[in-house]
Amino acid sequence: MAGIEHITVEADEAGMRLDRWFKVHFPGLGFGQLQKLLRSGQVRVDGGRVKTDARVQPGQVVRVPPLDVDLKSTKSGPIASKDLKHSDDGELLARMLLHEDDKVFVLNKPAGLAVQGGSGVNRNIDKMLEAWTNKRGEKPRLVHRLDRDTSGVLVIARTRGAAQKLTAAFRERDTKKTYWSLVKGVPRKHEDRISTWLVKEQTPDGDRMRIAKHGEDGADHAISYYRVIETAAQSLAWLEMEPYTGRTHQLRVHALHIGHPIIGDPKYFIDDPNWDFPGGVQRRLHLHARKIDIPHPNGGRLKVTAPLPPHMVQTWNLLGLDLDSATESDD
């Protein structure tokens, strides 16, 4: 266990949140442990007491007391299911963080974590964001959603004004959302537009969307685009998908509609006795919000890409799918 350290903030760390700064320098230190050190005044910046959301600036000196933690047991990389149950909210959010500035957080949501509360939901992003409430008592706000089983890019507004602008961008469809999926079979058309009407129906397993007739009560128009990036033995296809509209389960229903349901989808993948589920592939939803391109509240556009979740990385490796083959469309 080392003694007290005084570490000077570097130029490339300007504006970094103090909890993120500690995550970079001392990855083995949990968020809860850091909070205790701050509350007791053991961690200080330029000799003064601070909170986790304080912003460090170049030249400032951070006082770090002896840390009784295994600093090699870094909590970075993929978030496991046990982490979702036992890790602190602030620590988990910090590990999901892909981008942050004064108006926006962008997270890489892990599969299996709900965005909002509901029946049977023990933990959700919306509730977790209370850990990042700022000095003015303002909690970061959701501006869109992802299905619980879908991983990937999730945009969070840090202020009320940012939330209004980001919500308007989604409503006015001034955003480009790109998803990656793995589907059963290979679509006949390697690039196409899917246009249907969708309606929600109640089932014993919860709400489910289905294709509706034009004009059916409660139905909404849904448009999606897809293209085939690569195939595996003509039995599976890696698709890039873009939802033009934002209906519930839209891409999942549209994949089923064209006869190529998404692998591992618990609601819309139907087992076929004439088709063998690929061995070694986890029966988890293979749908990932890969990239978003959205107007930034301060002007210009924000473009963020999220790495694949562990179960999809495992599948891509197993099938020999080459991530570099998607480089052009992913830029």
217 occurs within a structural domain: yes
Q: Are 299 and 238 members of one domain?
A: yes
Q: Which strand (E) or helix (H) includes residue 315?
A: helix 310-319
Radius of gyration of the chain (CA): 22
Q: Are 206 and 299 members of one domain?
A: yes
Whether the per-residue pLDDT at 113 is higher than 90: the answer is yes
Average confidence score pLDDT of the chain: 88
Q: How many helices (H) and strands (E) does the chain have?
A: 9, 14
Task: Provide the 8-state DSSP code for 124.
Answer: B
Q: Are 137 and 200 members of one domain?
A: no
Q: Are 191 and 313 members of one domain?
A: yes
Annotation marks residue 147 as catalytic: yes
Q: Are 187 and 246 members of one domain?
A: yes
Of 157, 172, 187, which residue constitutes the final position of a domain? 172
Q: Are 207 and 300 members of one domain?
A: yes
330 occurs within a structural domain: no
Higher-scoring residue by pLDDT: 58, 194: 194
Residue 156: alpha-carbon gap to chain centroid: 10
Q: What is the CATH number of the domain that holds 225?
A: 3.30.2350.10
216 occurs within a structural domain: yes
Query: How far apart are alpha carbons 234 and 184 in whole angstroms?
Result: 9
Residue 317: alpha-carbon gap to chain centroid: 21
DSSP code per residue over 46-106: TTB---TTPBP-TT-EEEE----S-TTS---SSPPHHHHHHS-HHHHHHHHEEEE-SSEEE
The mean per-residue pLDDT over the stretch 181-205 comes to 94
Token digits of residue 59: 């030249």
Residue 77 pLDDT class (50, 70, 90 cuts): low
Q: What is the CATH number of the domain that holds 38?
A: 3.10.290.10
Residue type (1 letter), 316: W
SS3 category, 164: helix
Selecting among 19, 147, 149, 265, the annotated active-site residue is 147
Of 123, 148, 172, which residue constitutes the final position of a domain? 172
Q: What is the pLDDT of residues 272-328, one digit of tens each?
A: 888 888 888 999 999 999 999 999 999 999 999 999 999 999 999 999 998 877 754
Strand order in the sheet with 44-45: 5-8, 61-64, 44-45
Q: What is the pLDDT of residues 218-238, one digit of tens each?
A: 999 999 999 999 999 889 999
Residue 169 pLDDT class (50, 70, 90 cuts): very high
Q: Are 141 and 33 members of one domain?
A: no
Residue 330 pLDDT class (50, 70, 90 cuts): very low
**Structural contact between residues 314 and 282, judged by C-beta atoms closer than 8 angstroms:** yes
User: Secondary structure of the chain: what % helix, strand, coil (to 5)?
Assistant: 25, 30, 45
The residue assigned the tokens 């890019």 is 153
282 occurs within a structural domain: yes
Total domains in the fold of the chain: 3
Q: Are 188 and 239 members of one domain?
A: yes
Q: Residue 240's beta-bridge partner residues?
A: 180, 227
Q: Which strand (E) or helix (H) includes residue 209?
A: strand 206-212
Q: Are 181 and 210 members of one domain?
A: yes
Q: Are 221 and 279 members of one domain?
A: yes
Q: Are 108 and 227 members of one domain?
A: no
Of 172, 205, 230, which residue constitutes the final position of a domain? 172
List the domain range (segments joined by +) for residue 195. Answer: 177-319
328 occurs within a structural domain: no
**Structural contact between residues 55 and 16, judged by C-beta atoms closer than 8 angstroms:** yes
The pLDDT of residue 70 is: 47
Return the closest-CA partner of residue 156 out of 320, 254, 297. Answer: 297
203 occurs within a structural domain: yes
Whether the per-residue pLDDT at 156 is higher than 60: the answer is yes
326 occurs within a structural domain: no
77 occurs within a structural domain: no
Higher-scoring residue by pLDDT: 13, 165: 165
pTM, two decimal places:
0.77
Q: Which long-range contacts (CB under 8 A, 24 or more apart) does 266-270 make?
A: 266/149, 267/205, 267/208, 268/208, 269/184
Query: How far apart are alpha carbons 228 and 243 in whole angstroms?
Result: 15
Q: Are 257 and 292 members of one domain?
A: yes
Q: What is the pLDDT of residues 35-53, one digit of tens each?
A: 889 999 999 999 999 998 8
- Residues sharing a CB contact under 8 Å with residue 44, sequence separation 6 or more, in sequence order: 50, 62, 63
